[in-house]
Amino acid sequence: MSLFAQVRVINIPLCSLAGRIAVVLLVGIPAASMSICAVRIALAARLGSHLDAADLQRAIVLDPGNATYDYRLGLVYGYSLDQGDLRRAIKYLKKATEMNPRKALYWSDLADVCDTADDAVCSDAATKAALRLSPTTPQFEWKAANHYLRTGRIKEALQQFRHLLELDPAYAQPVFQISLRIMGSPAAVLREVIPPGAPPRTRLALLDFATEQGNLDVANEVWNQIVSNRISCEVSDVKSYVDGLLAAGEISQAAVVWQQLEQFGVVPKNAGDKRNQVYNGDFIHEPLNAGFDWRTPTSPYVETDFNDPSGPHGLHCLRVDYAAGKNLESEPVYEFVPVTRGQKYTLQAYVRSENITSDSGPRLRIVDPQCPGCLDISSATTVGTTSWHPLTVDFTTAQHTRVVRLSIWRARSRTFPMEISGSFWLSDVSITAVGSQAREATSAQ
């Protein structure tokens, strides 16, 4: 019989004060019980949000069926400096996994605390449970691999690292660093950790890592795999590799990589005369600031614009503005150009100027970056206001020279007026081999 039916049977006069009180008492018993329960749960939630062991224990008493509070209390005992107690941490974390056995995070944190307590049996079981419940969560794979490392199981750790990289290449750098400490060489990392079907980003990350470690043999091997698998990439992905090759004097390999990047469409193909060794000498595209393209280091008080439309043939040209009136040496633009050793070359470009105030204006300069004393030559300076005109410089590379640094260079002035202001334009830059060996030198590039 329903509650309202019971009220009709007992026939309480509802209009009287006593009747109304009786009905409120009768109907309010379950409502009050529910209200008390809600208050207990709300109070438990408030206490359970604190990182205090005593408050969390009260929350457990108020809401004993909620595994969250046992889990949080386990973390407090496991990681708090002033409340730490590993035995209690394991107790409450185990209780949380018993109450909610399908929560992978509970098992993962239990594994960590058991590792800290040197309880290998507990840690093993908890690690396996976390992986079983969430086999595609990179965080759990990372923690599992480190668990196997701590317990001396290198083979299992490397397997977890391989699986981790398949799931998330973002872990590549820390995985490579740890693996390198274990195996001793990037080659071993490439062999043991990188799976054959690894995502492209993983191999590109290893390319960076091997380059940073100075192991260019491994970097070259990784690059060959990238090329053979036609892995797509951006200039930013290979910038450090190409620059590493240049810094190490591996000019031939750097040139090969650059040509491959052109073939794959990663960098624009060089247009114009095939004999010209200068890449992007007509400034058709925005410089990449990498490899064999133009670079623009920070030069105070000098501004550059590669899209100036006032070139001699109606095309873009480079404009350099000296706007601050300072007497400083500057090299706002430069490019590495591969060359053949012992070869005569001609550097030619078209330039113009407007209101260059100093007697030491901008020049074109050629330097052997690996032996500046062996080759360091510059063009005539450009001062005042001039119309478009050619600049020509002949130079011969030394027997060891494989690359030169071509730049716009301004030396400090030693005569009045020393400060420089005004603008300088550059277009149609070329370096071509001269003489009977010219065809051979061009083919060698």
Contact 218, 183 (CB under 8 A): no
* pLDDT for 34: 59
Do 222 and 354 belong to one domain?
Answer: no
Whether residues 258 and 370 fall in one domain: no
- Shared domain for 307 and 439, answered yes or no, is yes
Identify the pLDDT of residue 340: 95
Same domain, 210 and 246: yes
Residue 300 CB neighbours (<10 A): 9
The count of other CB atoms within 10 Å of the CB of residue 297 is 11
Q: Which of 244, 267, 290 delimits the end of a domain?
A: 267
Q: Does residue 10 fall inside a structural domain? A: yes
Q: How far is CA 61 from CA 44, 55, 182, 307, in A?
A: 8, 10, 48, 72
Instruction: Dump strand ranges (E) for 157-310.
Output: 302-308
pTM of the shown model: 0.72
What count of other Cβ atoms lies within 10 Å of the Cβ of residue 35? 11
pLDDT of residue 24: 43
111 and 140 assigned to the same domain? no
Q: How is residue 51 annotated by DSSP? A: S
The pair of structure tokens assigned to 357 is: 């105030």
Read off the DSSP letter of residue 430: E
Averaged pLDDT, groups of 10, the chain, 445 residues long: 38 43 47 66 75 85 88 90 87 95 96 93 95 95 94 92 87 88 82 76 87 89 87 91 94 95 92 89 93 92 94 89 89 97 97 95 96 95 96 95 96 89 96 73 48
336 and 409 in a common domain: yes
Strand 344-356's sheet: what is its strand order? 302-308, 317-326, 420-433, 344-356, 384-396
**Alpha carbon distance 187, 105 (integer Å):** 35
Whether residues 29 and 94 share a domain: the answer is yes
CA distance 360 to 3: 104
236, 393 Cβ separation under 8 angstroms:
no
Instruction: Please state, in angstroms and rounded to a whole number, the distance separating the CA atoms of residues 241 and 225.
Output: 14
Q: Is residue 130 part of a domain?
A: no
Angle between helices 3-10 and 17-48 (to 10 degrees): 150
Judge contact between 114 and 90, C-beta under 8 A. yes
Phi, psi of 151 (to 5 degrees): -100, 15
CB of 109 within 8 A of CB of 118?
A: no
Cα–Cα distance between 167 and 130 in angstroms, integer? Answer: 16
Same domain, 21 and 100: yes
Question: Which residues span the domain enclosing 371?
Answer: 302-444
Domain count, the chain: 3
| HSE (side-chain half, CA atoms, 13 Å) at 148 | 19
- Looking at this protein, which amino acid is placed at residue 155? K
Q: What is the pLDDT of residue 47?
A: 76
Last residue of a domain, one of 55, 86, 115: 115
pLDDT of residue 8: 39
Angle, in degrees to the nearest 10, between helices 172-183 and 154-167: 160
First to last CA, the chain: 99
Q: Which of 267, 289, 315 is the last residue of a domain?
A: 267
User: By C-alpha distance, which of 131, 209, 132 is closest to 169?
Assistant: 209
- Together in a domain, 53 and 155: no
- Quick check: is 153 in a domain? yes
Do residues 109 and 141 both lie within one domain? no
CA distance linking residue 49 with residue 76, whole number of Å? 12
Which domain CATH number covers 46? Answer: 1.25.40.10
Structural domain includes residue 356:
yes
Q: What is the CATH number of the domain that holds 402?
A: 2.60.120.260
Please tell me whether residues 312 and 440 are part of one structural domain.
Answer: yes
In a domain, 131, yes or no: no
Q: 411 in a domain, yes or no?
A: yes
* Residue 445 CB coordination number (10 Å): 15
Q: Residues for the chain: how many in total?
A: 445
Is the residue at 346 inside a domain? yes
Q: The tokens of 153 are what?
A: 């199981």
The whole-number pLDDT of residue 215 equals 87
Residue 65 belongs to some domain of the structure: yes
